[in-house]
Amino acid sequence: MCETFIYLLDAAEDLSINLHNLVHLMRRNGLQARISFQPDHNFDWKAEVAFVKKRVEFIGGKTEKNENYWEYEEYLEKVLILNGMGIITLEGMIHLEESLHENFKGFDLLPGLMIIPESNIRTLKQVVYQELNDEPPYDIDSEDHEGIVKIKKITEPSAQKIHQEGIKPPRLFLLHSDFGFLKDILEKISIQKETSLAEGAL
Protein backbone atom coordinates (compact mmCIF):
# COMPACT_ATOMS: atom_id res chain seq x y z
CA MET A 1 0.00 0.00 0.00
CA CYS A 2 1.42 3.39 -1.03
CA GLU A 3 1.54 6.02 1.70
CA THR A 4 0.03 9.42 0.92
CA PHE A 5 0.98 12.78 2.33
CA ILE A 6 -0.77 15.87 3.65
CA TYR A 7 0.67 19.37 3.55
CA LEU A 8 1.83 20.30 7.07
CA LEU A 9 0.00 23.64 7.03
CA ASP A 10 -3.24 21.91 6.02
CA ALA A 11 -2.76 19.35 8.79
CA ALA A 12 -2.30 22.10 11.38
CA GLU A 13 -5.44 23.85 10.13
CA ASP A 14 -7.50 20.62 10.17
CA LEU A 15 -6.33 19.87 13.73
CA SER A 16 -7.02 23.47 14.85
CA ILE A 17 -3.47 24.03 16.12
CA ASN A 18 -0.63 26.19 14.85
CA LEU A 19 2.33 24.84 12.90
CA HIS A 20 4.75 25.07 15.83
CA ASN A 21 2.43 23.07 18.09
CA LEU A 22 1.94 20.47 15.35
CA VAL A 23 5.71 19.94 14.95
CA HIS A 24 6.04 19.81 18.75
CA LEU A 25 3.34 17.13 18.93
CA MET A 26 5.01 15.16 16.13
CA ARG A 27 8.40 15.30 17.84
CA ARG A 28 6.98 14.22 21.21
CA ASN A 29 5.47 11.18 19.53
CA GLY A 30 8.52 10.26 17.45
CA LEU A 31 7.00 11.27 14.11
CA GLN A 32 9.08 12.69 11.27
CA ALA A 33 8.02 15.28 8.73
CA ARG A 34 8.92 15.06 5.05
CA ILE A 35 10.40 17.92 3.07
CA SER A 36 9.89 18.28 -0.67
CA PHE A 37 12.47 20.00 -2.85
CA GLN A 38 10.33 20.28 -5.95
CA PRO A 39 12.66 20.44 -8.98
CA ASP A 40 12.11 22.86 -11.83
CA HIS A 41 13.42 22.46 -15.37
CA ASN A 42 15.52 25.62 -14.88
CA PHE A 43 16.49 25.16 -11.24
CA ASP A 44 18.09 22.52 -9.02
CA TRP A 45 18.09 22.63 -5.23
CA LYS A 46 21.83 22.75 -4.52
CA ALA A 47 22.92 22.74 -0.90
CA GLU A 48 26.16 22.79 1.03
CA VAL A 49 25.81 19.83 3.39
CA ALA A 50 27.85 18.10 6.06
CA PHE A 51 27.78 14.41 6.95
CA VAL A 52 29.74 11.92 9.03
CA LYS A 53 31.47 8.77 7.77
CA LYS A 54 32.51 6.10 10.27
CA ARG A 55 35.98 4.66 9.64
CA VAL A 56 37.79 1.58 10.94
CA GLU A 57 41.60 1.38 10.90
CA PHE A 58 43.27 -1.99 11.52
CA ILE A 59 46.59 -1.83 13.35
CA GLY A 60 49.20 -3.85 11.50
CA GLY A 61 47.00 -4.44 8.47
CA LYS A 62 43.59 -6.01 7.97
CA THR A 63 43.53 -9.81 8.32
CA GLU A 64 40.86 -12.34 9.27
CA LYS A 65 42.42 -12.83 12.73
CA ASN A 66 43.39 -9.21 13.40
CA GLU A 67 41.17 -7.82 16.14
CA ASN A 68 43.33 -4.76 16.78
CA TYR A 69 41.55 -1.77 15.33
CA TRP A 70 40.18 1.61 16.24
CA GLU A 71 37.09 3.44 15.03
CA TYR A 72 36.69 7.12 14.31
CA GLU A 73 34.42 9.45 12.38
CA GLU A 74 35.26 11.76 9.50
CA TYR A 75 33.34 14.99 9.04
CA LEU A 76 32.80 15.68 5.33
CA GLU A 77 31.30 18.61 3.47
CA LYS A 78 30.04 18.71 -0.10
CA VAL A 79 27.52 20.34 -2.41
CA LEU A 80 24.59 18.04 -3.19
CA ILE A 81 21.48 18.38 -5.33
CA LEU A 82 18.49 17.71 -3.09
CA ASN A 83 15.74 17.49 -5.72
CA GLY A 84 12.88 15.31 -4.52
CA MET A 85 11.63 14.24 -1.11
CA GLY A 86 13.62 13.94 2.11
CA ILE A 87 12.89 12.72 5.63
CA ILE A 88 13.59 15.10 8.50
CA THR A 89 15.44 13.20 11.24
CA LEU A 90 14.32 13.20 14.88
CA GLU A 91 17.15 15.62 15.67
CA GLY A 92 16.05 17.68 12.68
CA MET A 93 12.53 17.84 14.14
CA ILE A 94 13.98 19.51 17.25
CA HIS A 95 15.71 22.07 15.02
CA LEU A 96 12.51 22.62 13.02
CA GLU A 97 10.46 23.12 16.19
CA GLU A 98 12.99 25.62 17.58
CA SER A 99 13.11 27.49 14.26
CA LEU A 100 9.32 27.78 14.14
CA HIS A 101 9.34 29.00 17.76
CA GLU A 102 11.69 31.77 16.60
CA ASN A 103 9.18 32.59 13.83
CA PHE A 104 11.52 31.53 11.02
CA LYS A 105 9.77 30.89 7.72
CA GLY A 106 10.52 29.70 4.20
CA PHE A 107 14.21 29.42 3.33
CA ASP A 108 15.23 30.53 6.85
CA LEU A 109 14.04 27.15 8.20
CA LEU A 110 16.63 25.20 6.19
CA PRO A 111 20.15 25.99 7.57
CA GLY A 112 20.96 23.45 10.28
CA LEU A 113 18.16 21.07 9.29
CA MET A 114 19.16 17.39 9.31
CA ILE A 115 17.51 15.23 6.65
CA ILE A 116 17.80 11.92 4.83
CA PRO A 117 17.47 12.61 1.09
CA GLU A 118 15.31 9.80 -0.31
CA SER A 119 16.20 10.40 -3.94
CA ASN A 120 19.87 11.26 -3.51
CA ILE A 121 21.43 7.86 -2.89
CA ARG A 122 23.67 7.81 -5.96
CA THR A 123 24.94 11.36 -5.47
CA LEU A 124 25.86 10.79 -1.83
CA LYS A 125 27.56 7.51 -2.75
CA GLN A 126 29.69 9.33 -5.31
CA VAL A 127 30.65 12.03 -2.81
CA VAL A 128 31.84 9.50 -0.25
CA TYR A 129 33.77 7.58 -2.88
CA GLN A 130 35.55 10.76 -3.96
CA GLU A 131 36.53 11.54 -0.38
CA LEU A 132 37.48 7.98 0.58
CA ASN A 133 38.62 6.46 -2.70
CA ASP A 134 40.60 3.67 -1.03
CA GLU A 135 37.40 1.64 -0.66
CA PRO A 136 34.40 0.97 -2.93
CA PRO A 137 31.26 3.12 -2.81
CA TYR A 138 28.67 2.02 -0.29
CA ASP A 139 24.93 2.51 -0.09
CA ILE A 140 23.33 5.35 1.80
CA ASP A 141 21.59 2.82 4.07
CA SER A 142 24.67 0.70 4.80
CA GLU A 143 25.47 -0.10 8.41
CA ASP A 144 28.26 2.48 8.63
CA HIS A 145 26.27 5.38 7.24
CA GLU A 146 22.74 6.45 8.10
CA GLY A 147 22.37 8.68 5.05
CA ILE A 148 21.89 11.76 7.22
CA VAL A 149 23.11 15.12 5.94
CA LYS A 150 22.97 18.50 7.65
CA ILE A 151 22.09 21.46 5.46
CA LYS A 152 24.59 24.25 5.98
CA LYS A 153 23.53 26.58 3.17
CA ILE A 154 21.09 26.23 0.28
CA THR A 155 21.17 27.98 -3.08
CA GLU A 156 17.98 30.00 -3.20
CA PRO A 157 16.30 30.82 -6.51
CA SER A 158 16.80 34.37 -7.71
CA ALA A 159 14.07 36.98 -7.26
CA GLN A 160 13.49 36.78 -11.03
CA LYS A 161 12.91 33.01 -10.93
CA ILE A 162 10.60 33.35 -7.95
CA HIS A 163 8.59 36.05 -9.74
CA GLN A 164 8.57 34.61 -13.27
CA GLU A 165 8.49 30.86 -12.60
CA GLY A 166 6.80 30.77 -9.21
CA ILE A 167 9.48 28.70 -7.46
CA LYS A 168 8.55 28.32 -3.80
CA PRO A 169 10.56 27.28 -0.73
CA PRO A 170 10.60 23.52 -0.04
CA ARG A 171 7.30 22.34 1.44
CA LEU A 172 6.71 20.26 4.57
CA PHE A 173 4.46 17.20 4.64
CA LEU A 174 3.46 14.37 6.96
CA LEU A 175 2.04 10.95 6.30
CA HIS A 176 -1.76 10.62 6.29
CA SER A 177 -1.37 7.72 8.73
CA ASP A 178 0.58 10.00 11.09
CA PHE A 179 -2.12 12.66 10.72
CA GLY A 180 -4.75 10.13 11.84
CA PHE A 181 -2.57 9.14 14.79
CA LEU A 182 -2.21 12.77 15.91
CA LYS A 183 -5.92 13.39 15.45
CA ASP A 184 -6.70 10.49 17.79
CA ILE A 185 -4.27 11.85 20.39
CA LEU A 186 -5.86 15.32 20.34
CA GLU A 187 -9.35 13.82 20.58
CA LYS A 188 -8.33 11.80 23.65
CA ILE A 189 -6.80 14.91 25.25
CA SER A 190 -10.02 16.83 24.57
CA ILE A 191 -12.15 14.07 26.12
CA GLN A 192 -9.90 13.96 29.20
CA LYS A 193 -10.23 17.73 29.66
CA GLU A 194 -14.02 17.59 29.31
CA THR A 195 -14.18 14.74 31.82
CA SER A 196 -12.01 16.64 34.29
CA LEU A 197 -14.17 19.77 33.95
CA ALA A 198 -17.34 17.75 34.45
CA GLU A 199 -15.94 16.06 37.54
CA GLY A 200 -14.81 19.41 38.91
CA ALA A 201 -18.30 20.83 38.50
CA LEU A 202 -19.84 18.09 40.66
Beta bridge partners of 46: 81
* 52 in Cβ contact with 132 (< 8 Å): no
Q: How many other CB atoms are there within 10 angstroms of residue 149's CB atom?
A: 28
Interval 160-199: pLDDT, tens: 777 777 778 889 999 999 999 999 999 998 888 877 776 6
pTM attached to this predicted model: 0.73
How buried is 170 (Cβ within 10 angstroms: 0-12 exposed, 13-18 middle, 19+ buried)? Answer: buried
Question: Count of domains in the chain?
Answer: 1
Q: Is residue 195 part of a domain?
A: no
- Show Cβ contacts of residue 85 under 8 Å, excluding neighbours closer than 6 positions: 34, 35, 36, 37, 118, 119
pLDDT score at 140: 42
Q: Is residue 193 part of a domain?
A: no
Q: Is residue 198 part of a domain?
A: no
Q: Is residue 113 part of a domain?
A: yes
Q: Regarding predicted confidence, which is higher, 136 or 44?
A: 44
- Domain limits at 119? 5-186
pLDDT score at 75: 75
Q: Regarding predicted confidence, which is higher, 56 or 80?
A: 80
Q: Is residue 202 part of a domain?
A: no
Q: Is residue 140 part of a domain?
A: yes
- DSSP SS3 for 88: strand
Most confident listed range (54-68, 73-87, 112-126, 188-202): 73-87
Mean pLDDT of the chain: 79
pLDDT score at 195: 78
Residue among 169, 168, 180, 184 nearest 6 (CA): 180
Q: Is residue 158 part of a domain?
A: yes
Q: Is residue 81 part of a domain?
A: yes
